[in-house]
């Protein structure tokens, strides 16, 4: 492991996952190869299961002539009344990923909270730049709302949840639903959300973040894939980069969690601050010594604390 400026700040229990952490998704020229490698990894791994949860694959009809949207549904076997729902959006820098990679977490979430989880297999950049990923997730949100009676859901208790790029789409989805008068959301649960393309070109970058797992070059390439042009230009929609939104009032309550060494630290802190100024309730967590994706170190105490905080925030939001 080579020495870096922030290595001394890393939680010692996280050091073991830095070097072997999958270097996925970038450079963009290799994205298809990376996706194929991830598919091979997934196929070679045993699929998680939980006897408390039913799992199903659905194809949600596309809107306005768009292609259908694939999603995985997890629902508790023992139901009691209309269920709360979580619309989950996976991460992957906007260029890789699939709902199967979050399956273990979504199974336990459905079982522990007694909720339905819908994890969206949205289209990926660069083949499908903005607004395609957001459109797919919005289609899934409308479907959950329209099919609430069939799915035995409580329309008033729906949260959107995402990690990294998925967190960026989740934040944008909350904005899109507000702007369009769409289905109401109870909560937005954002883990290290990728929400500001201007981080790629900021004039005074934080010197101690973004050295592990997700760095500035990967971030730049991910944003360029999503936007179809270099990041940081004028005129980028707030529905592509949520931090661009000028008006943040009337949004659902938010949970934002990020590591202190994560490249997204300052954009996440600033978004949380602006939400509070707009009257949006915010629960904000910054985990010391933690970099992007640190939850992969499941035995580390900081990762376990983050997992507990994450689950309890959803429990309070959906179950009261």
**Mean pLDDT for each consecutive 10-residue tract of the chain (320 residues)?**
78 84 52 84 87 96 92 93 96 95 96 97 97 98 97 97 98 98 97 97 90 93 96 98 98 98 98 98 98 95 98 96
Residue 27 is predicted with a pLDDT of 54
Q: In total, how many domains does the chain have?
A: 1
DSSP annotation string for 72-126: EEEEESS--SSEEEEEEE--STTTS--GGGGHHHHHHHHHHHT-EEEEEE---TT
- Domain contains 40: yes
Q: Is residue 132 part of a domain?
A: yes
| Predicted local confidence at residue 25, as pLDDT | 42
Task: Tell me whether residue 1 is in a domain.
Answer: no
Predicted pLDDT of residue 128: 97
- The residue segments making up the domain with residue 29 are 7-319
Catalytic residue among 108, 119, 292, 310, which?
Answer: 292
Give pLDDT, residue 3.
Answer: 64
Residue 2 maps to a domain: no
Report helix, strand and coil shares of the chain as percent, to nearest 5. 40, 20, 40
Active site residue 164: yes
Find the catalytic residue in 164, 196, 197, 238.
Answer: 164
Look at residue 17 and tell me if it is in a domain: yes
Domain membership flag for residue 14: yes
User: What CATH code is carried by the domain that includes residue 158?
Assistant: 3.40.50.1820
In a domain, 186, yes or no: yes
Catalytic residue among 50, 197, 262, 310: 262
């Amino acid at each position: 492991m080579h020495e870096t400026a922030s290595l001394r700040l890393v939680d010692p229990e996280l050091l073991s996952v830095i070097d072997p952490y999958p270097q996925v998704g970038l450079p963009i020229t290799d994205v298809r190869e990376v996706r194929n490698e991830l598919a091979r990894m997934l196929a070679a791994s045993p699929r998680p299961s939980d006897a408390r949860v039913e799992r199903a694959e659905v194809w949600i009809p596309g809107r306005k002539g768009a292609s259908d949207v694939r999603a995985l549904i997890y629902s508790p076997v023992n139901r009691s009344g209309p269920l709360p729902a979580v619309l989950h959006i996976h991460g992957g820098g906007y260029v890789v990923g699939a709902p199967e990679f979050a399956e273990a977490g979504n199974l336990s979430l459905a079982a522990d909270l007694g909720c339905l989880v819908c994890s969206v297999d949205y289209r990926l950049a660069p083949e499908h730049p903005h607004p395609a990923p957001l459109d797919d997730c919005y289609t899934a949100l409308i479907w959950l709302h329209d099919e609430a009676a069939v799915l035995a859901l409580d329309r008033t208790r729906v949260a959107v949840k995402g990690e990294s790029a998925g967190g960026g789409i989740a934040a944008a989805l909350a904005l899109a639903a507000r702007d369009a008068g769409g289905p109401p959301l109870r909560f937005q649960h954002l883990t290290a959300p990728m929400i500001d393309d201007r981080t790629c070109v900021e004039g005074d970058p934080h010197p101690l973040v973004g050295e592990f797992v997700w760095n500035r070059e990967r971030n730049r390439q991910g944003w360029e894939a999503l936007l179809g042009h270099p990041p940081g230009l004028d005129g980028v929609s707030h529905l592509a980069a949520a931090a661009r939104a000028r008006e943040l009032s009337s949004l659902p309550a938010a949970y934002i969690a990020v590591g202190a060494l994560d490249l997204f630290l300052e954009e996440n802190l600033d978004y949380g601050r602006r939400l509070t100024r707009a009257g949006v309730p915010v629960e904000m967590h910054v985990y010391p010594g933690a970099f992007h994706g640190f939850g992969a170190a499941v035995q580390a105490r900081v990762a376990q604390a983050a997992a507990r905080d994450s689950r309890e925030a959803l429990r309070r939001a959906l179950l009261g």
